[in-house]
Structures are given as structure tokens and as C-alpha cells.
Amino acid sequence: MSQVRRVVVDTDTGIDDAHTLLYLAGRPDAEIVAISSVFGNCLEEDATRNIGYVTRLLGLEVPIARGAAEPIAGVAHIAGYVHGKDGLGDRGYDRPLPEVTGESGAELLVRLAHERPGELDLLALGPLTNLGLALRIDPELFTRYRSVVLMGGSGPYAEPGTLLMIDANVNNDPEAARAVFAAPRNELVMVGVNVTAGTILDERAIAALRAAPGSRARFAVEILETYLDFYQNEWGRRIIPLHDPLAAGILLDPAFATAWTDGPVNVVTDGFLARARLMRTVDGLPPAFPHEPAPPTRVVTNVDATRFVADFVEVLSR
């Protein structure tokens, strides 16, 4: 077994975030150390309630901190139309607020990094607001984490004529994202929509989860329905992309990423949406306009989706 990764999870606990917590808890090479909430897939309070529900299901007792309820600047865009108003598909689960540490999400991220420098990995699954606020407390924060892996970004500039899914986590707080990509770090890994959108939990994989025994697989399938309702409008099939779980998979097993590029990432906008982009074209050239210098980010550009999906289903089916 590979070395255990001790993971601090920052999450806007929607459906694929909950799947990610199930996946991490089922991997013998992962230990969830603490969890902070943030707005995004649902309101921050619902994200916290969902953390409590999932950790109780898992029998997991870890520190939980309530994080940002809105972006550093601008207006929050809550994705209730994707994840249900409560973030877990509006299934009517009993979701009391869990016991929390009393510190903010940003303060939790800073405290743990100072208490255990070089030991922890930070996995960011939602808007980057808590990370941006934490960097205001400690600008060297990311140098104290073993690595920071985030689900967000859009990779390098795409092939002309190609459209990508919205980079929702960056678009929800571009100011925080700019701070994250500019900060000094040991290792920052961007797992963006350029690779997550094609990592598909298809009908066969969903059927395997439905057939699996146990409360974890049953819960994973229960919360899928609202997600499937949304994504059927994209592809005409009741299938979903594994956005957040893929980021966790790459944190634990970097070989799931079969190609990447290290380079500067900028947050750019077309006046409508903000995206985090590697400042490279599909041909590996700099973009045709000036961009800001930044420390290198490891930007994943291709993944072994088949192997990851098989692993995800196997872990949740145990």
C-alpha cells in the first residue's frame, strides 16, 4: 500500500462532493483529517449540514469548520438546479448542523498547516474563497501543505471551435482564485473541467453501484437522481461526470493523470464567465496577449478515465 495521504477537505458539499468523501473514506491510503464548508453547490449552511450527514454515515469524527457564505467580491451563484436546493438532491434527509470548531474555514486551514507542516494535503472541491481568505492570514500557507489539489480551472486554451463546461468553482470567486494561483506553494495541482467533463460514470457503472450492498453505495445512488436529471440535458443520457472525485483520485494516485503541463495560470474573463487558464494554447504556445507571471501550477491535461471510474465504483461498492 502506498503512503497514506492525510487530507484536509474544503467543500461546497453537493452530490459529487459527497461521493468524494465516500471515496476518500473507502481508500486505505487516505485519511480525512478535517473538513471545511463553503458556499457553491448549495448555501454554506446546507454544505455544513451535508458534511455532518455524510460523516455520520461514515462513522467519521473529524473537526468541521464553517467557511465562507459568499465570495470575497461579487455575488454567489448557488447551483441548486444541479444538486437540489439542499445540495443532496432534496431527498429529505435529516441533516442537523454538526458540532463545529468555532473557527472559520480559513482559520482551520491555517491552523492545521502550522500544526502539521509538510504532513497534510489540501483538497479544494468548491469555490476557492476559504483558500483566498486563508492566504490573507498566511501568504505562505501553501508552502506548509505537502500539496494543494483543486477541482477547478479549464486547462490550457482549447482547440479552436471547442467549448468547455463552465469552470464554476473559479467563476464563483475569481478574486480568491487569482490569489490561489499567484501564491507560493510546494505543489499546486489543477484538475479542471477539461479533464473532469470526460470522466463519466455511465449506465453500466451506475448499475454496478445500484447492485452493490451497503449503506455507502445505497446513499451514493440515492443522491444521483437530481444530478442525472441535470446532466441528461447535456448528453441525452442519464450519466454524470465525476468532477470532484477525479481530483481526489489524482491526489491519491497521480498516475490517474496521464499528461500534464507545468506553467503559469491566470484567471481571465470574457465579460460573462471567469475561467482559470494555463497560459498556453493547445499547441503549447503562449497566448496572443499579455498575461501575468505566476508560479508554476501542475495542470492536468489528460487522464485514464476508464481506470479511475473502475476504481471509484470498486471503492464505493465495498
> pLDDT tens across 234-244, in order?
999 999 999 99
Give the pLDDT score at 193: 98
Catalytic residue among 19, 77, 243, 291: 243
Give the pLDDT score at 2: 60
Q: What is the C-alpha separation between 142 and 198, in angstroms, rounded? A: 29
CATH superfamily, with its number, for domain 5-317: Ribonucleoside hydrolase-like (3.90.245.10)
DSSP character string of the chain: -PPPEEEEEEE---HHHHHHHHHHHH-TTEEEEEEEE-SSSS-HHHHHHHHHHHHHHHT----EEB--SS-SSS-----HHHH-TTSS-S-----PPPP--SSBHHHHHHHHHHHSTTTEEEEE-S-SHHHHHHHHH-TTGGGTSSEEEEE----BPPPTT------HHHHT-HHHHHHHHHS--S-EEEE-HHHHTT-EE-HHHHHHHHH--SHHHHHHHHTHHHHHHHHHHHHSSS-EE-HHHHHHHHHH-GGGEEEEEEE-EEEEE-SS-EEEEES--TTSPPPSS-------EEEEEEE-HHHHHHHHHHHHH-
Give the pLDDT score at 1: 42
Give the pLDDT score at 163: 83
Residues in the chain, pLDDT under 70 = 1-2
Asked if 83 is an active-site residue, the reply is no
Q: What is the pTM of this model?
A: 0.97
